[in-house]
């Protein structure tokens, strides 16, 4: 435990709290000034931004180039504002550092699980890391979890325990006499997870949506016996049925977080559950189509562009996330000035391109599979694309699934795609313990 880091993060959270009563005009002024400061810093200190943003200093944010994950990794050394920080050094440190370790005693290094393709590797200094941790503390506080002197809160986190994973790093950072954390590997056997949770008796259960659903079943069966005051779902799409089953099983409210490895928590639900408040004092977000043009409020975008206002070591300006989100037209009655994400549909990467009738191709969104499989299997299913073929794993009888799926695919305009439905005991977890509903193992050839 780093007392200085815990103290810094708690202080940062305290400072952020005052922003939640800002007016919308105060928030807009803060965003404008923070964006200007970030852009000036990036052009001054980063060789990449100095070149790419040349001649664009006076242009508005939405006129700047998009920063993709590939560009971030390919240009890591030039994007970095620390001349001595190189991608090779950061990569080597990933497997060498413990969860609470720092590269050169200065940088927290993290990496994404790579479930959507290439792995993203990040480095953050003390201020940036305390801001990321504070974003988690804010989200937890809105879920009814607040660190108080003289009281110890017990938080169980079922996700990745790989030392370089952001969740493991944050859990190790906040573990203290105020917030005791138990990190459980989402890839562990359910019986082992149940035993750990029964022993720990968490006040708050944080888990991937698929794991939350599995643990709700164990609670109903009587194998799991815990009484958390709050449930937190993150990193996977949470369906309405999953939320209902969890709340009924644990008799506790579910709060959803939207977080990424690169940014920390971007948005979170408050007690009104009207959607997830975007942390607009920390991020400027743009909901855009496939050509990076803004979409109307209330419309699902193809990707979300995020400018992280506190990023300095690796400035993230218009960083592309392939998440498909909908911004709500209304504000939350809680009075916070932040806009709401009303829905996360999944990732653009999860939209399958399949052979249509004739010579055309058809884009098939995961909602097609949710319509058929959710009612039958809950979270116990996964669709895998292997080129022109589809494999469907289900945790139950598969007798009618193939017929229903073929009907839905036919309605969507899909041609005679080979479809293999297979019953399995459990849906296999990826490297970070996630069990996404749709996995693209091999895209269909053009």
What SS3 class is residue 153?
Answer: strand
Rounded CA-CA distance 63/395 in Å is 47
What SS3 class is residue 294?
Answer: strand
Give the distance, in angstroms, between the CA of residue 92 and the centroid of all CA atoms in the same chain.
Answer: 25
Report residue 286 as tokens: 């743009």
Contact between residue 382 and residue 427 where contact means Cβ atoms under 8 Å apart:
yes
Closest CA to 263 of 298, 238, 244, 235: 235
Cα-based torsion angle of the residue sequence 272, 306, 385, 239 in order, rounded to the nearest 10 degrees:
0
Q: pLDDT band for position 414 (50/70/90)?
A: confident
The yes-or-no verdict on residue 104 having pLDDT over 80 is: yes
What is the pLDDT at residue 150? 58
Residue percentage of the chain with pLDDT more than 90: 54
Question: What DSSP state is assigned to residue 409?
Answer: H
Question: Which residues, 6+ apart, have CB-to-CB distance to 414 below 8 Å?
Answer: 354, 355, 356, 357, 362, 364
Question: Which residues, 6+ apart, have CB-to-CB distance to 49 below 8 Å?
Answer: 39, 42, 43, 79, 315, 317
What is the pLDDT at residue 203? 94
Just give the CATH number of 3-347: 3.40.50.12780
Closest CA to 93 of 79, 83, 107, 81: 107
The yes-or-no verdict on residue 93 having pLDDT over 80 is: yes
pLDDT digits (tens, 9 = 90+) for 37-74: 999 999 999 999 999 999 998 999 999 999 999 999 99
Domain ranges of the chain: 3-347, 351-442
More confident residue, 203 or 166: 203
CB neighbour class for 6 (10 Å; exposed up to 12, middle 13-18, buried from 19):
buried
pLDDT digits (tens, 9 = 90+) for 359-395: 677 777 766 777 777 777 776 788 888 877 888 888 8
Contact between residue 433 and residue 185 where contact means Cβ atoms under 8 Å apart:
yes
The pTM of this model reads: 0.84
Contact between residue 203 and residue 217 where contact means Cβ atoms under 8 Å apart:
no
Contact between residue 200 and residue 156 where contact means Cβ atoms under 8 Å apart:
yes
Report residue 282 as tokens: 């920390």
Bridge partners (DSSP) of residue 158 are 184, 207
Just give the CATH number of 351-442: 3.30.300
The yes-or-no verdict on residue 245 having pLDDT over 90 is: yes
């Amino acid at each position: 435990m780093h007392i200085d880091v815990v103290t810094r993060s708690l202080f940062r959270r305290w400072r952020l709290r005052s922003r939640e009563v800002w007016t919308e005009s105060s928030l807009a002024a803060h965003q404008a000034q923070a964006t200007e400061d970030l852009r000036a810093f990036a052009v001054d200190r980063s060789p990449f931004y100095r070149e790419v943003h040349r001649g664009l200093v006076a242009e508005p944010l939405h006129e700047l180039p998009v920063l993709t994950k590939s560009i971030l990794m390919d240009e890591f050394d030039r994007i970095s504002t620390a001349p001595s920080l190189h991608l090779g050094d950061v990569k080597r440190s990933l497997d060498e550092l413990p969860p609470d370790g720092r590269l050169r005693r200065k940088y927290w290094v993290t990496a994404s699980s790579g479930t959507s393709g290439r792995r993203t590797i990040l480095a953050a200094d003390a201020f940036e890391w305390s801001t990321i941790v504070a974003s988690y503390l804010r989200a937890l506080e809105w879920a009814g979890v607040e660190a108080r002197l003289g009281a110890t809160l017990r938080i169980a986190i079922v996700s990745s325990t790989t030392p370089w994973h952001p969740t493991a790093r944050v859990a190790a950072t906040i573990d203290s006499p105020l917030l005791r954390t138990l990190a459980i590997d989402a890839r562990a056997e359910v019986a082992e997870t149940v035993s750990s949770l029964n022993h720990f008796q968490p006040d708050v259960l944080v888990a991937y949506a698929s794991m939350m659903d599995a643990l709700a079943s164990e609670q109903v069966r009587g194998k799991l016996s815990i009484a958390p005051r709050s449930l937190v779902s993150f990193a996977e799409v949470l369906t309405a049925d999953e939320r209902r089953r969890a709340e009924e099983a644990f008799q506790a409210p579910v709060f959803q977080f939207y977080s990424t490895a690169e940014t920390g928590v971007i948005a979170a639900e408050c007690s009104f559950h009207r959607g997830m408040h975007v942390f607009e004092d920390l991020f400027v977000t743009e909901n855009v189509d496939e050509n990076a043009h803004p979409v109307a409020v209330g419309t699902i975008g193809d990707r979300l562009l995020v400018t992280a206002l506190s990023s300095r070591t690796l400035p993230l300006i218009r960083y592309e996330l392939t998440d498909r989100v909908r911004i709500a037209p209304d504000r939350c009655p809680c009075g916070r000035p932040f806009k709401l994400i009303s829905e996360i549909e999944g990732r653009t990467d999860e939209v399958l391109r399949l052979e249509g009738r004739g010579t055309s191709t058809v884009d098939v969104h995961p909602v097609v599979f949710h319509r058929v499989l959710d009612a039958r299997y809950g979270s116990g299913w996964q669709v895998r694309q292997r080129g022109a073929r589809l494999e469907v794993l289900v945790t139950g009888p598969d007798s009618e699934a193939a017929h229903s799926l073929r009907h839905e695919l036919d309605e969507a305009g899909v041609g005679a795609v080979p479809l293999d439905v297979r019953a399995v005991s459990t849906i296999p977890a990826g490297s970070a313990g996630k069990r996404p509903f749709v996995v693209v193992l091999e895209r269909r050839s053009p």
